[in-house]
């Protein structure tokens, strides 16, 4: 029996997961990380802490599985995207990693658009420059920590630092590479034009690989620390969203991944390097070789329901709250909820956007308000679906849901009817780590390609069909929803 190991270095922990050659999860282990916020808007972590956590999780998962490191045929990597890890000539970490949720680099984003031209930058990279991405972080270090910048020789992302510690190799997958916004999206590799314009040395950037390609092998030193066998191959893997899409089988055009966690993510595989002309969608390479994807992100999805419950009905369970909401009709009798409690990303990249209940009357009850929250989040996610369809993807045939927000039947029904697509749930719940393990299995030859691996291992466990009787109500409600942010944008700024 061959086993495959997936490693997910997220913001909160490092997870190690072992699957067998049938895709069955054998064991899972996790070790926590700490987060540093040394100044307002800053978010940093120590890469050495990731390595300690990964080493502990690998040892733990091997023990839980009751197997030795020699049983692991291949390892796949995933993790938090966009974080900047700077190393010197000998591979030493020069400063704490600047993470995806760090907000210090707005002036550098403006500088990138000024130097290259916003439209041209979107055309090359598929994205606008946002504070979360890697490129502006590099410029920030150059401008604010010149002594660190002068020693830099290697740029890596979080999971690729783990790759370096496992293999001694500087390498990166193409999905995560695209997320630095230093990529030429169409050619699936570094953009010499962007690097030259930003004066970032090409030699700092590692070689890039497709998600299933092997990038190196476990060294003797890493084997001694982790319990893996020296020589075990390490697959390129992918950033957490791309690997998570593999983990739920969102690897073909028309099948969309929908994550309704604290934040919400809409992930759509594309067969070519499609770009939303205004950069309102993220456009990256997929971890699936030769494929790309669109991604829309809303910042308060299930987080909106969490806030609502905690603030207005703390004595009620979520189940009781949702049961009560079933008594309110579709459309909540005109009540609207804007889910911009944390600002917004897609389609309104506005940190000053705010949440709101609009249209309250004496007739509205708590049931209406709860349902309005569920519908408002669904409308916010539909914004991303609409952009994806208008950017050339075409018909969406199936939505594969994951995250806490998809556990309730009422919210699943609202999502299916608002999106006018079948919403299914699947048997895999480990997300990126599971996808990374599948990518390693494909690289090792257990499956001929990623689509075959997903077909063999990922099974549909539930289906929610859209309700055609609700289409007209939701189309009208969504039209009103779309008008609200433009009407309130200036008021949000005044607040």
Tens of pLDDT, residue by residue over 86-115, are 999 999 999 999 999 888 999 999 999 999
Place 351 in a pLDDT band, splitting at 50, 70 and 90: confident
At residue 10, does pLDDT exceed 80? yes
Domain ranges of the chain: 3-237, 249-426+465-495
DSSP for 366-412, written as a single string? HHHHHHHHHHHHHHHHHHHHHHHIIIII----EEEEESGGGSSHHHH
Residue 460, helix vs strand vs coil: strand
Q: Give the C-alpha distances (Å, rounded to integers) separating 289 from 71, 118, 296, 342.
A: 26, 28, 21, 34
In 3D space, the residue among 378, 387, 463, 385 whose CA is nearest the CA of residue 418 turns out to be 378
User: 37-51, 329-343, 388-402: lowest mean pLDDT where?
Assistant: 388-402
Its pTM stands at: 0.92
User: What pLDDT is stored for residue 328 in this prediction?
Assistant: 98
Strand ranges for 1-151 from DSSP E? 3-9, 13-20, 25-32, 44-45, 72-79, 85-87, 97-98
Residue 72, helix vs strand vs coil: strand
User: What pLDDT is stored for residue 474 in this prediction?
Assistant: 98
For domain 3-237, give the CATH number: 3.30.420.40
| No. of helices (H) and no. of strands (E), the chain | 17, 23
Decide if 3-237 and 249-426+465-495 have a common fold: yes
At residue 185, does pLDDT exceed 90? yes
User: What pLDDT is stored for residue 41 in this prediction?
Assistant: 87
Please tell me the distance from the alpha carbon of residue 57 to that of residue 225, in angstroms, as a whole number: 11
Catalytic residue annotation: 240
At residue 55, does pLDDT exceed 80? yes
User: What pLDDT is stored for residue 394 in this prediction?
Assistant: 75
Residue for token pair 């719940």:
429
Mean pLDDT, to the nearest integer, of 370-383?
A: 98
Q: Are strands 282-285 and 292-298 parallel, antiparallel or unpaired?
A: antiparallel
User: 342-356, 430-444, 465-479: lowest mean pLDDT where?
Assistant: 342-356
User: What pLDDT is stored for residue 244 in this prediction?
Assistant: 94
User: What pLDDT is stored for residue 150 in this prediction?
Assistant: 98
> Contact at 8 Å (CB) between 128 and 108?
no
Q: Give the C-alpha distances (Å, rounded to integers) separating 33 from 13, 133, 262, 420.
A: 5, 21, 19, 40
Query: Mean pLDDT score of the chain, rounded to an integer?
Result: 96
pLDDT in tens, 205-247: 999 999 999 999 999 999 999 999 999 999 999 999 999 999 9
Mean pLDDT, to the nearest integer, of 236-262?
A: 93
At residue 163, does pLDDT exceed 80? yes
User: What pLDDT is stored for residue 349 in this prediction?
Assistant: 86
For domain 249-426+465-495, say whether CATH 3.30.420.40 is its number.
yes
User: What pLDDT is stored for residue 212 in this prediction?
Assistant: 98
pLDDT in tens, 57-71: 999 999 999 999 999
Sheet with 214-217, side-by-side order of all strands? 25-32, 13-20, 3-9, 72-79, 233-235, 214-217
Which DSSP helix (H) or strand (E) runs through 492?
helix 471-494
Mean pLDDT, to the nearest integer, of 331-351?
A: 93
């Amino acid at each position: 029996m061959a086993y495959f190991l997936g490693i997910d270095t997220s913001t909160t922990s490092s997870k190690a997961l072992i699957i067998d050659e049938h895709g069955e999860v054998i064991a899972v282990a996790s070790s926590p990380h700490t987060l540093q916020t040394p100044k307002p808007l800053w978010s940093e972590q120590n890469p050495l802490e990731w390595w300690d956590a990964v080493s502990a999780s690998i040892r733990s998962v091997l023990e839980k599985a009751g197997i030795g490191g020699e049983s692991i045929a291949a390892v796949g990597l995933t993790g938090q995207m966009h974080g900047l890890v700077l190393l010197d000539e000998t591979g030493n970490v020069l400063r704490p990693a600047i993470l995806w949720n760090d907000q210090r680099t707005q002036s550098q984003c403006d500088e990138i658009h000024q130097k290259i031209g916003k439209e041209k930058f979107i055309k090359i990279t598929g994205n606008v420059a946002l504070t979360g991405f890697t490129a502006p972080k590099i410029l920030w270090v150059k401008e604010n920590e010149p002594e660190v910048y002068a020693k830099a020789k290697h740029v890596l992302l979080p999971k690729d630092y783990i790759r370096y510690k496992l293999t001694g190799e500087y390498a990166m997958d193409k999905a995560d590479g695209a997320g630095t916004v230093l990529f030429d999206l169409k050619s699936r590799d570094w953009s010499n034009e962007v690097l030259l314009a930003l004066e970032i040395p090409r030699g700092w950037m590692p070689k890039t690989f497709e998600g299933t390609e092997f990038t190196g092998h476990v060294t003797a030193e890493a084997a001694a620390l982790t319990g893996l066998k020296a020589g075990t191959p390490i697959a390129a893997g992918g950033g957490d969203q791309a690997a998570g899409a593999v983990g739920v089988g969102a690897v073909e055009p028309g099948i969309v991944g929908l994550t309704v966690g604290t934040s919400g993510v809409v992930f759509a595989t594309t067969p070519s390097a499609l770009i939303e002309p205004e950069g309102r969608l993220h456009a990256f390479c997929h971890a699936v070789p030769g494929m790309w994807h669109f991604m829309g992100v809303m910042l308060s999805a299930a987080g909106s329901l969490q806030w609502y419950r905690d603030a207005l009905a703390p004595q009620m369970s979520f189940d009781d709250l949702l049961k009560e909401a079933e008594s309110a009709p579709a459309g909540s009798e005109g009540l609207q909820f804007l889910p911009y409690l944390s600002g917004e990303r897609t389609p309104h990249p506005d940190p000053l956007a705010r949440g709101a209940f609009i249209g309250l009357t004496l007739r509205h009850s708590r049931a209406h308000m709860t349902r309005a929250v569920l519908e408002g989040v669904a409308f916010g996610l539909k914004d991303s679906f609409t952009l994806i369809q208008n950017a050339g993807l075409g018909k969406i045939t199936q939505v594969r849901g994951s995250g806490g927000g998809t556990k309730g039947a009422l919210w699943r029904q609202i999502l299916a009817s608002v999106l006018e697509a079948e919403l299914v749930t699947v048997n895999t719940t480990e997300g990126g780590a599971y996808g990374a393990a599948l990518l390693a299995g494909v690289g090792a030859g257990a499956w001929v390609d990623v689509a075959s691996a997903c077909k063999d291992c990922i099974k549909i466990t539930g289906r929610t069909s859209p309700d055609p009787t609700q289409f007209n109500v939701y189309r009208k409600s969504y039209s009103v929803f779309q008008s609200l942010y433009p009407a309130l944008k200036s008021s949000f700024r005044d607040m």
